[in-house]
Amino acid sequence: MATDQPDDEQDEETLAEAFWAVSRNLRHRGRESIGSLGITPAQARAVGELRRHGSMRISALSEHLHIAPRSGTEVVDALEERGLLHRSPDPDDRRATLVTLSTQGEKVAEAVRKARAAEAEQFFDRLSPHDRSELARIIGVLRHP
């Protein structure tokens, strides 16, 4: 296939490709950092959301996680089976159920937070404080278009 670009330009990685590669690397490292806790990345995200926001309906948790309600129910079922959360009636709607972290779930959520923070610290350690600050600023701009 003939192009007008020199070979070295064809091999250049785009900004988007570089961003996705860094993101994949960080996600992979994050999975490894929570591996010893015996929970999946989706479960780790769920306990993190419940830790941050408190009790909520499964539908609200699913929205926070950007997953289908059915998938949210599967995550909640697995966490409940492990004793990391419990369900209770919603006082505002007796047809609805709230999910809340158990004491063990709070401990796991804190362990996830610490593991991810330590992994991120190690990952970003090669950046200077100025570069970290600038990267945080840029990500903030991109995160909220």
Q: Write out pLDDT tens, residues 14-65.
A: 989 999 999 999 888 888 888 888 899 999 999 999 999 999 999 999 999 9
Please indicate whether residue 75 or residue 3 has the higher confidence score (pLDDT).
75
Q: Report the distance separating Cα 136 and Cα 16, nearest Å.
A: 17
| Nearest CA among 71, 100, 72 for reference residue 86 | 100
Average pLDDT, rounded, for the chain: 89
Q: Report the distance separating Cα 98 and Cα 111, nearest Å.
A: 23
Strand partners of residue 57: 98
* pLDDT at site 4: 53
* pLDDT at site 65: 95
Tokens of 63: 């929205």
Q: Is the alpha carbon torsion for 8, 11, 17, 23 positive or negative?
A: negative
CB 97 within 8 A of CB 136: no
Of the pLDDT bands very low, low, confident and very high (cuts 50, 70, 90), residue 1 is very low
CB 58 within 8 A of CB 69: yes
Q: Where is average pLDDT lowest: 2-6, 64-68, 101-105?
A: 2-6
Of the pLDDT bands very low, low, confident and very high (cuts 50, 70, 90), residue 2 is very low
Strand partners of residue 93: 90
Q: Is the alpha carbon torsion for 113, 136, 133, 20 positive or negative?
A: positive
CATH 1.10.10.10 for the 38-143 domain, yes or no = yes
* pLDDT at site 10: 56
- Report the pLDDT averaged over residues 97-102: 96
Q: Is the alpha carbon torsion for 78, 81, 82, 87 positive or negative?
A: positive
